[in-house]
Chain A
Amino acid sequence: MIDSFTPAFFRHLQQLKIRTRRAFLGSRQGGHVSLRRGHGLEFADFRLYSPGDDFRHIDWGIFARSERLYIKQFREEQDLNVIFLLDCSASMSLPENDHKFELCQELSLALSYVALSDGDTIRIASLGKELSPRFANARSWKKVATFLKEQKPAGHINLPYEIGLSMQRQKTPGKCFLISDFYYPHEDIFQAVRLLLARNFEVVLFHVLGNSELELKLDFGNHLIVDSETGETVEVILDQSSVKDYAYALADHIATIEKFAVKIGVPHILISSAEDVREVVLKRLPQLGLLK
Chain B
Amino acid sequence: MSFLSSYQLLNWGGLWLALLGPILILAYLYQGRFSKDKIASIMILRSLPKKTVIKQKIKLPLRYFLELFAILALTLALADIVKNDKNDTNIFILDTSLSMQAQTKNNYSRFEMARRKLEETLKQNKFSKVSLYLSTPRLKRIVNNESADVAIEALKSIKPSFSADQLASELPELIKSPSYQKIYIFSDQKFSIPSVDSHKIESLLFNDSLGNLFFSSANLRKFAQDKQQILARVHYDKATHGDISFSVKLYSLDKESPELLTSEKGFLGSNSGYTDLVIDLDNTNIRNTYRLELSNPDGQENAISVDDIAYVNSDISSRLNLLLVSDEPVNSGLEQLSAIKLTTKTQADIENSQEFATHTYDLVIFYKIAPQTAPQTPSLLILPPENTIFPLLTNNEANPVITSWLDTHPLTRYLRVALLKPTLASAFQALPWASGVINTEQGHILMAGESHGHRLAAVGFEIFPFEGAKTPLSTTLFLNLLNWLTQSDSTNAYGLSGSIFKPQSNSIYTILTPDNKVISNIDNKESYIFAEPGIYRIREGNNSSENSQAINAFYFQESVTSEVTTTNIAPLGTIKISDNSTEKSKEFVFYFLLAALLMLTIETLFFLRNLREKS
Complex CA–CA separation, A148 to B58 (angstroms): 48
Q: What is the minimal beta-carbon distance from B34 to any residue of chain A, in angstroms?
A: 9
Does A95 contact B40, Cβ atoms closer than 8 Å? yes
Which of B39, B48, B56, B59 has most chain A Cβ within 10 Å? B39
Q: Which of B40, B59, B610 contacts A91 (CB 8 A)?
A: B40
Complex CA–CA separation, A233 to B46 (angstroms): 10
Does B614 contact A221, Cβ atoms closer than 8 Å? no
Q: In the complex, which residues of chain B have a beta carbon less than 8 angstroms from the beta carbon of A242?
A: 48, 52-53, 56
**A94 at interface by CB-CB < 8 Å:** yes
Does A250 contact B60, Cβ atoms closer than 8 Å? no
Does B36 contact A224, Cβ atoms closer than 8 Å? yes
Q: Which of A185, A225, A245 contacts B42 (CB 8 A)?
A: A225
Q: In the complex, which residues of chain B have a beta carbon less than 8 angstroms from the beta carbon of A239?
A: 56, 59-60, 610
Does B33 contact A95, Cβ atoms closer than 8 Å? no
Does B53 contact A237, Cβ atoms closer than 8 Å? yes
Does B45 contact A246, Cβ atoms closer than 8 Å? yes
Complex CA–CA separation, A203 to B29 (angstroms): 48
Does A249 contact B44, Cβ atoms closer than 8 Å? yes
Q: Which of B32, B39, B52 contacts A226 (CB 8 A)?
A: B39
Determine the interface band of chain B, counting residues with CB < 8 A from chain A. Answer: 20 to 34
Which of B37, B43, B52 has most chain A Cβ within 10 Å? B43
Does B44 contact A237, Cβ atoms closer than 8 Å? no
Q: What is the minimal beta-carbon distance from B265 to any residue of chain A, in angstroms?
A: 103
Q: Mark B51-82, 1 if CB is under 8 A from A, else 0.
A: 01101110110000000000000000000000
**B31 at interface by CB-CB < 8 Å:** yes
**A268 at interface by CB-CB < 8 Å:** no
Does B33 contact A227, Cβ atoms closer than 8 Å? no
In the complex where A223-B32, A237-B57, A241-B52 touch, is A249 in contact with B39 (Cβ < 8 A)?
Answer: no
**B30 at interface by CB-CB < 8 Å:** yes
CB-CB nearest in chain A for B46: A234
Q: In the complex, which residues of chain B have a beta carbon less than 8 angstroms from the beta carbon of A100?
A: 40
Does A240 contact B38, Cβ atoms closer than 8 Å? no
Complex CA–CA separation, A282 to B324 (angstroms): 143
**B41 at interface by CB-CB < 8 Å:** yes
Complex CA–CA separation, A227 to B45 (angstroms): 10
Does A245 contact B40, Cβ atoms closer than 8 Å? no
**B613 at interface by CB-CB < 8 Å:** yes
In the complex where A240-B610, A249-B48 touch, is A224 in contact with B33 (Cβ < 8 A)?
Answer: yes
Task: Please name 25 pairs of A and B residues whose Cβ atoms are closer than 8 Å in the assembled complex, sorted by A.
Answer: A91-B40, A91-B41, A93-B40, A183-B43, A183-B44, A184-B43, A221-B31, A221-B60, A222-B29, A223-B32, A223-B37, A225-B37, A226-B38, A226-B39, A228-B38, A228-B39, A229-B41, A232-B42, A236-B45, A237-B57, A238-B56, A239-B59, A242-B52, A245-B49, A253-B44
Does B40 contact A228, Cβ atoms closer than 8 Å? yes
Q: In the complex, which residues of chain B have a beta carbon less than 8 angstroms from the beta carbon of A220?
A: 610, 614
Complex CA–CA separation, A229 to B42 (angstroms): 9
Q: Which of A91, A221, A229, A245 contacts B48 (CB 8 A)?
A: A245
A178-206 residues with Cβ-Cβ distance < 8 A to B are 181, 183-185
**A210 at interface by CB-CB < 8 Å:** yes
**B354 at interface by CB-CB < 8 Å:** no
Does A226 contact B36, Cβ atoms closer than 8 Å? yes
Does B41 contact A240, Cβ atoms closer than 8 Å? no
**B352 at interface by CB-CB < 8 Å:** no
**A162 at interface by CB-CB < 8 Å:** no
CB-CB nearest in chain B for A221: B32
Q: In the complex, which residues of chain B have a beta carbon less than 8 angstroms from the beta carbon of A250?
A: 44
Binding site for B on A (CB under 8 A): 90-95, 100, 181, 183-185, 210, 213, 218, 220-229, 232-234, 236-242, 245-246, 249-250, 253
CB-CB nearest in chain A for B34: A224
Q: Which of B29, B39, B55 contacts A94 (CB 8 A)?
A: B39
Q: In the complex, which residues of chain B have a beta carbon less than 8 angstroms from the beta carbon of A236?
A: 45, 48, 53
Q: What is the minimal beta-carbon distance from A136 to any residue of chain B, in angstroms?
A: 35
Q: Closest 5 A-B residue pairs measured CB to CB?
A: A222-B32, A183-B41, A91-B40, A237-B56, A94-B40
**B47 at interface by CB-CB < 8 Å:** yes
Q: In the complex, which residues of chain A have a beta carbon less than 8 angstroms from the beta carbon of B45?
A: 225, 234, 236, 246, 249
In the complex where A220-B614, A221-B31, A237-B60 touch, is A228 in contact with B37 (Cβ < 8 A)?
Answer: no
Does B42 contact A234, Cβ atoms closer than 8 Å? yes
Q: In the complex, which residues of chain B have a beta carbon less than 8 angstroms from the beta carbon of A245?
A: 48-49, 52
Complex CA–CA separation, A249 to B42 (angstroms): 12
Complex CA–CA separation, A227 to B46 (angstroms): 11
Complex CA–CA separation, A176 to B534 (angstroms): 132
Q: In the complex, which residues of chain A have a beta carbon less than 8 angstroms from the beta carbon of B30?
A: 222
Q: In the complex, which residues of chain A have a beta carbon less than 8 angstroms from the beta carbon of B610?
A: 220, 239-240
CB-CB nearest in chain A for B47: A249
Q: What is the minimal beta-carbon distance from B107 to any residue of chain A, in angstroms?
A: 78
Complex CA–CA separation, A221 to B607 (angstroms): 12
Q: In the complex, which residues of chain B have a beta carbon less than 8 angstroms from the beta carbon of A227?
A: 39, 41-43
In the complex where A237-B53, A249-B48 touch, is A225 in contact with B60 (Cβ < 8 A)?
Answer: no
Q: In the complex, which residues of chain B have a beta carbon less than 8 angstroms from the beta carbon of A91?
A: 40-41
Does B59 contact A224, Cβ atoms closer than 8 Å? no
Does B48 contact A218, Cβ atoms closer than 8 Å? no
Does B42 contact A213, Cβ atoms closer than 8 Å? no
Complex CA–CA separation, A100 to B55 (angstroms): 33
Which of A92, A249, A253 has most chain B Cβ within 10 Å? A249
Does A241 contact B47, Cβ atoms closer than 8 Å? no
Complex CA–CA separation, A113 to B467 (angstroms): 161
Q: A242-B53, A246-B48 are in contact. List 19 more A-B contacts (CB 8 A).
A: A91-B41, A94-B39, A94-B40, A181-B40, A220-B610, A224-B33, A225-B37, A225-B45, A226-B42, A228-B39, A228-B41, A233-B36, A234-B45, A236-B48, A239-B610, A242-B52, A245-B48, A249-B45, A249-B48
In the complex where A94-B38, A237-B56, A237-B57 touch, is A246 in contact with B32 (Cβ < 8 A)?
Answer: no
CB-CB nearest in chain B for A234: B42
CB-CB nearest in chain B for A247: B44
Does B614 contact A240, Cβ atoms closer than 8 Å? yes
Does A241 contact B56, Cβ atoms closer than 8 Å? yes
Complex CA–CA separation, A109 to B55 (angstroms): 47
Q: What is the minimal beta-carbon distance from B502 to any residue of chain A, in angstroms?
A: 80
Q: In the complex, which residues of chain A have a beta carbon less than 8 angstroms from the beta carbon of B49?
A: 245
Which of A92, A93, A224, A245 has most chain B Cβ within 10 Å? A245
Q: Mark B595-615, 1 if CB is under 8 A from A, else 0.
A: 000000000000000100110
Does B39 contact A95, Cβ atoms closer than 8 Å? yes
In the complex where A221-B31, A223-B32, A246-B48 touch, is A210 in contact with B37 (Cβ < 8 A)?
Answer: no
CB-CB nearest in chain B for A212: B39
Does A213 contact B48, Cβ atoms closer than 8 Å? no
Q: In the complex, which residues of chain A have a beta carbon less than 8 angstroms from the beta carbon of B39?
A: 94-95, 213, 225-228
Does B46 contact A183, Cβ atoms closer than 8 Å? no
Q: In the complex, which residues of chain B have a beta carbon less than 8 angstroms from the beta carbon of A183?
A: 40-41, 43-44
Complex CA–CA separation, A70 to B486 (angstroms): 173
Does A210 contact B32, Cβ atoms closer than 8 Å? no
Q: In the complex, which residues of chain A have a beta carbon less than 8 angstroms from the beta carbon of B38?
A: 94, 225-226, 228
Complex CA–CA separation, A218 to B45 (angstroms): 12
Q: In the complex, which residues of chain A have a beta carbon less than 8 angstroms from the beta carbon of B36?
A: 224-226, 233
Q: Which of B40, B43, B46, B60 contacts A210 (CB 8 A)?
A: B40
Q: What is the minimal beta-carbon distance from B344 to any residue of chain A, in angstroms?
A: 104
Q: In the complex, which residues of chain A have a beta carbon less than 8 angstroms from the beta carbon of B55?
A: 241
Complex CA–CA separation, A226 to B39 (angstroms): 6
